[in-house]
Amino acid sequence: MMKITCATMMLTSTSLLVRPKMLYKTACSYSFLLSLLSLTLLKPQSNSYLNLDDISAPLLLLSFWLLPLTILASQSVMTKEPVGRQRTFLVTLLVLQSAISLTFMADNLTLMYIMFESTLAPTLFIITRWGQQAERLTAGTYFMLYTLMTSMPLLLAVLFMNNHLFTSTPFSTTMQPTNTWTQLLLWVFCLLAFLTKMPLYGLHLWLPKAHVEAPIAGSMVLAAILLKLGGYGMIRMMQIMPTTKTDAFLPFLVLALWGAILANLTCLQQTDLKSLIAYSSISHMGLVIASITLQTPWGLSGAMSLMIAHGFTSSALFCLANTTYERTNTRILVLTRGFHNILPMATAWWLLTNLMNIATPPTLNFTGELLIASSLFNWCPTTMIMLGLSLLITASYSLHMFLSTQMGSPLLNLPTQPTHSREHLLMVLHMTPLIMISMKPELVL
């Protein structure tokens, strides 16, 4: 674990010192080697300093695997920037990756909180510095306000638990039951920051704005990894906090399921392609929140499966949206139609990714949603109505997205470049791991 973390930090200095002509070649090659080295994390081994188990190892592996893909996806745009900005961009990505890695490897709550909050600065820097429109400053303001306002209660809860145990709260310890109201406030304070990060519907307004304004690397990291920090934090809280009946989480659970339906309905009326994909992330994370709050083994397994599957799928969708944007300079669905006639191979990637997004069997997405549906039905059969509506609308907007971008006659009379080998490689590196994990889902369950 320390070898991979130190190697990631050393890539920061390498990006600052390497010759400009070799900058992207070196960064991509080095980060690909790191992602291959991280495959050893499939057999997690914990030590006395850092924590790595069956919960954090798959998410950590996902973050390392997507690091070279973010660099590769940004290459077309960033090579037009001055060399100093290119180096700053790579260093920011690597600092963010290091903070995410240490968050997943933290062995106590205090260290996890520090690393969790340290991801805010590089993410804000990526959104506000390399965003595509002037509204990126508004998106950054929303991002910081929502995150910081909900992180203060979490800090108070962490300090309270450290004072209660007279040490930094380890994940191997379960707090003894306290006063009922104190226990309820602790749960709310601890979960609020992670629910905002997921995000829960109602606390979600920062996410579509951040996705729309962020560059492709920012969108990939936000959707694939940073949203998963919220789910990871919730799972860790279940280990530390006193056991509580599921009825105590009923407001969050109902809001998560109902919010998933509302987010799906919002997808149907979106005209911006990136905004549509962002709202689809909100709906999928609503199912993850509902399954985690059930506190059942099947629910946690389904949440882990869906988080990993969504990480690959949403990142692939953003890459495809960026491929379209680079050729049309617009994300409006009406103006990006007819690509089946121009880029037929890209249409195949769009179809495969949308099939993954609607959880077609036997993909990992289907495994996760099946486990979540089983656990929710076992808790309350009525939830099948909300879950069924959510899955039906998901299929509807996925079909709408595919038909709007690929079918019909092109409306833009612009010279269009063919799909590059780099873009095909990006999609292969997204889809291949997801298909392989679908064949052996025990790796993430």
- Condensed to tens digits (0 to 9), the pLDDT of residues 174-219 reads 777 667 788 888 888 888 889 998 888 888 889 888 888 889 998 9
Q: How confident is the model at residue 44 (pLDDT cuts 50, 70, 90)?
A: low
pLDDT at 366 (0 to 100):
93
Q: Which residues pair with 20 in a beta bridge?
A: none
Separation between Cα atoms, residue 142 and residue 140, nearest integer Å: 5
Phi/psi-derived region of residue 252, left when phi > 0, alpha when psi is between -120 and 50, beta in every other case: alpha
For residue 418, what pLDDT band results from cuts at 50, 70 and 90? Answer: confident
Please compute the mean of the pLDDT values over residues 34-50 and round it to a whole number: 73
* Closest of 312, 292, 299 to residue 363, by C-alpha: 312
Domain spans in the chain, listed from the N-terminal domain onward: 245-445
Closest CA to 306 of 286, 276, 277, 278: 286
pTM of the model: 0.93
Q: What is the pLDDT of residues 268-314, one digit of tens each?
A: 988 889 999 999 999 999 999 999 998 888 999 999 999 999 999 99
d(CA 104, CA 372): 23
Percentage of the chain beyond pLDDT 90 is 39
Confidence of residue 4 (pLDDT cuts 50, 70, 90): confident
CB 254 within 8 A of CB 386: no
Query: Cα dihedral sign for 64, 96, 419, 306?
Result: positive
Reported as a single tens digit per residue, the pLDDT across 323-347 is 988 888 888 888 888 888 888 888 9
Q: Which distant-in-sequence residues (6+ apart) come within 8 Å of 14 by Cβ? A: 26, 27, 30
Which pLDDT band holds residue 49 (cuts at 50, 70, 90)?
Answer: low
Residue in the structure block whose two tokens are 């379209």: 324
Element (H, E) at 2: helix 2-17
Give 352-381 pLDDT, tens digit per residue: 999 999 988 889 999 999 999 999 999 889
Closest of 92, 47, 41 to residue 64, by C-alpha: 41
Measured CA to CA, the distance from residue 377 to residue 396 in angstroms comes to: 23
Confidence class of residue 114 from pLDDT cuts 50, 70 and 90?
A: very high
For tokens 């089983």, the residue is 374
Q: Are the CB atoms for 304 and 58 separated by under 8 Å?
A: yes
**pLDDT at residue number 333:** 86
Distance CA 376, CA 383 (A): 6
Q: For the residues 401-414, what does the mean pLDDT come to?
A: 79
**What average pLDDT is seen over the chain?**
87
Q: What is the per-residue pLDDT for 442?
A: 85
